[in-house]
Amino acid sequence: MSRRLDIELTSNRQDGTWTWRAAGAKSPKGVVSATLLSDAAKTGDVLKVEADFDIDGISVLSIVQMREKGQRGNVLQMLASEKAFTPVTQKLAEKPKSDRKPARNGRDDKSGKRDGAPRSARPPRDPNAPRRPESTRPDGSTGRPSRPSRPHFTAPPEMPKRPAAKRLKPKHVHRSAVLETLPLEQRGVAERALDGGIKAVRDAVKVQNDLLRKEGKPEVPSDGLISMAQNLLPKLRVADWLDKADAAKADLATLDLRDLRSVVVASEDPMVVRDETTRALATELKVALKERQESAQTLWLSDIVDALKVGRTVRALKLTSEPPKAGQPFPSELGAKLAVAATAGLTTETAPDRWIALLEALAFSPIRSQVKLATMPQQPSEALLATVKRLSPLLPQIATLFGIEVAPGVTAPRPLRPTRPVRVKPKTAPAKPESTKSEVAAPVEAAPVEAAPVEVAPVEAAPVEVAPTSNE
């Protein structure tokens, strides 16, 4: 596979070749034909070349011409004025103190008195004096009217907030150590094999040979590169797993269970199992995963019970669809209590929006078949009917109540994804065209830029887990 490389010319041989080495390093080094160089080439020149890396070594194919920076033309020069500079000064006149105007109400600003006379004292009120009669309303009542009592809402207690789990962030300590032991011409093959396996190496060789075939150049032998990748892949897989295992061991108490489970599953890879350095660490991670799953199961059930106690039925239903360990049966006693709470929340007096929230949470709960309804809203909204129709494969007993038939073989729906708010961009006023009275500089011709080909590694899409988003 060809690659660009910076080399430094070291000596000129008598056989019409030059020796070179990597710029700023001792290796790699090799020989380049003098026909590819210019007549002005000398020892110490640094060039960028297109080289072919294969099993036999590095072969220089061509010299990449460096583009020189063009000079900017048609630059306007600003000339200073020949007139003498005259500074401008300003001095404000002081206002005399005697020009103060009297206040409009006749009071002195400092004393607050009118015309300097003292303010007369207010006479005391006679307690025996008759008071004003109270106003009489049309209904015959007197005095201050009584206000209606406002509805008082007692907020439910806060749910226990669990600390956010950390995601796995492995370092490339073992991976870099293995790559540094390889020759430079093998590192590209090793990185491609580590990212996508043998298939990625085979695809990259095929793409490279297609380009060489179009250019009329000899193709790269694929068998040698694939056998090289097969020999390097086992120790690369072990190094990659050790990086992930060390990162998981550092955060065992707070690491996300999904990441810890993925590291434990990867330890069963035949390439990893055969290495003796991974067995003790894999056993330690398996024990830690079992303990974390048991503690997470206890916290999960306690959160559901707490949500039921404060009346957060939707929250409790959504928690039941997120078990920390798949395949565990849900407790029957707790499931019966949750089904009773869900049935009590779906009545004729419940608002349609509340119906939609409860049905969305109930459809993906393990106790959905235990909820039996006998009533439905008197005037269901269009959104509620659409929700019942979408969830009918999971809630057939409720769909029958609404008069919706469930067709056999219908695919079960998936939980709704959270909707992101749409950001409205502010409208910008159109730019006014500039005046063309002044002379416009002549356009400068720009040299075409040739983009270097970029090798794109295939990326495997990971499955996305859809988590419930809205809480009650």
Domains (range + CATH), the chain: 2-64 (2.40.50.140), 173-291 (no CATH), 311-401 (no CATH)
- pLDDT at residue 359 in the model: 92
Do the beta carbons of residue 205 and residue 300 sit within 8 Å?
no
- How many residues belong to the chain? 472
Tokens of 39: 């007549």
Can you tell me the distance from the alpha carbon of 133 to that of 96, in angstroms, rounded to the nearest whole number? 58
160-169, 199-208, 317-326 — which is least confidently predicted? Answer: 160-169
Can you tell me the distance from the alpha carbon of 397 to that of 404, in angstroms, rounded to the nearest whole number? 10
Residue 312 Cα distances to 70, 229, 262, 363, 371, angstroms = 70, 56, 33, 17, 17
Q: How confident is residue 102, by pLDDT bands cut at 50, 70 and 90?
A: low
Q: Which comes out higher in pLDDT, residue 382 or 114?
A: 382
DSSP string, 33-91: EGGGS-TT--TT-EEEEEEEE-SS-EEEEEEEPPPPPPPP-SPPPPPPP-SPP------
pLDDT of 103 higher than 60? no
Sign of the CA dihedral running 410, 411, 415, 416: negative
pLDDT digits (tens, 9 = 90+) for 164-178: 888 889 988 988 888
pLDDT digits (tens, 9 = 90+) for 117-154: 555 566 777 777 666 665 556 666 665 666 655 544 45
Helix (H, G, I), strand (E, B) or coil at 334: helix
Distance of CA 241 to the CA centre of its chain: 25
Q: What are phi and psi of 125, to 5 degrees?
A: -85, 140
Can you tell me the distance from the alpha carbon of 302 to that of 28, in angstroms, rounded to the nearest whole number? 63
Can you tell me the distance from the alpha carbon of 370 to that of 340, in angstroms, rounded to the nearest whole number? 9
Rounded average pLDDT over 176-184? 87
Can you tell me the distance from the alpha carbon of 51 to that of 1, in angstroms, rounded to the nearest whole number? 8
DSSP string, 443-455: PPPPPPP-PPP--
Q: Among 56, 62, 54, which residue's Cα sits nearest to residue 32?
A: 62
Do the beta carbons of residue 168 and residue 259 sit within 8 Å?
yes
User: Which one-letter DSSP state was computed for residue 73?
Assistant: -
Q: Among 371, 314, 308, 362, which residue's Cα sits nearest to residue 334?
A: 308
